[in-house]
Amino acid sequence: MYPADLKYTKDHEWVRGGGAEATIGITDYAQAQLGDVVFVELPAVGRTIKQGEVFGTIESVKAVSELYSPVSGKVLETNPVVSTKPETVNSDPHGTWLIVVELSNPKEVDALLTSDQYADLVK
């Protein structure tokens, strides 16, 4: 259910990659809890974010939730699709990325949860 090539946070974000860059999105569990996503606010390209810091918000018909960065680094790219079609987060949560970050500390990725650990967390 949760792809093994991703790492996860207790705040329900996922990370793909490591080394120089990482891609960040939200988990299937998170989108299911939110319901129909209607708006996503992402940071400006070039912004520096720290692990655990709020980097944006995601709004559904039920609530507005903050997005917490699983890693520290500089925002290299934001996904333009989620600005115009935020519902893609619901239809493909593990394939729809939100931001790409140039990692300032690649070891932060290693410390995140594996897919099995995350699955245990949300059952």
- From the number of C-beta atoms within 10 Å of its C-beta (0-12, 13-18, 19+), residue 59 rates as middle
Confidence of residue 4 (pLDDT cuts 50, 70, 90): very high
Question: What is the model's pLDDT at position 18?
Answer: 74
Q: Which domains does the chain have, with CATH numbers?
A: 6-46+55-122 (2.40.50.100)
Cα–Cα dist 95/2, whole Å? 11
pLDDT digits (tens, 9 = 90+) for 55-91: 999 999 999 999 999 999 999 999 999 999 999 999 9
Cα–Cα dist 46/35, whole Å? 30
Cα–Cα dist 23/44, whole Å? 15
Residue 13 backbone phi and psi in degrees, to 5: -100, 155
User: Residue 5: pLDDT above 90?
Assistant: yes
Question: What is the model's pLDDT at position 64?
Answer: 95
User: Residue 114: pLDDT above 90?
Assistant: yes
Question: What is the model's pLDDT at position 1?
Answer: 83
pLDDT digits (tens, 9 = 90+) for 14-58: 999 978 999 999 999 999 999 999 999 999 999 999 999 999 999
Q: What is the mean pLDDT of residues 85-110?
A: 97
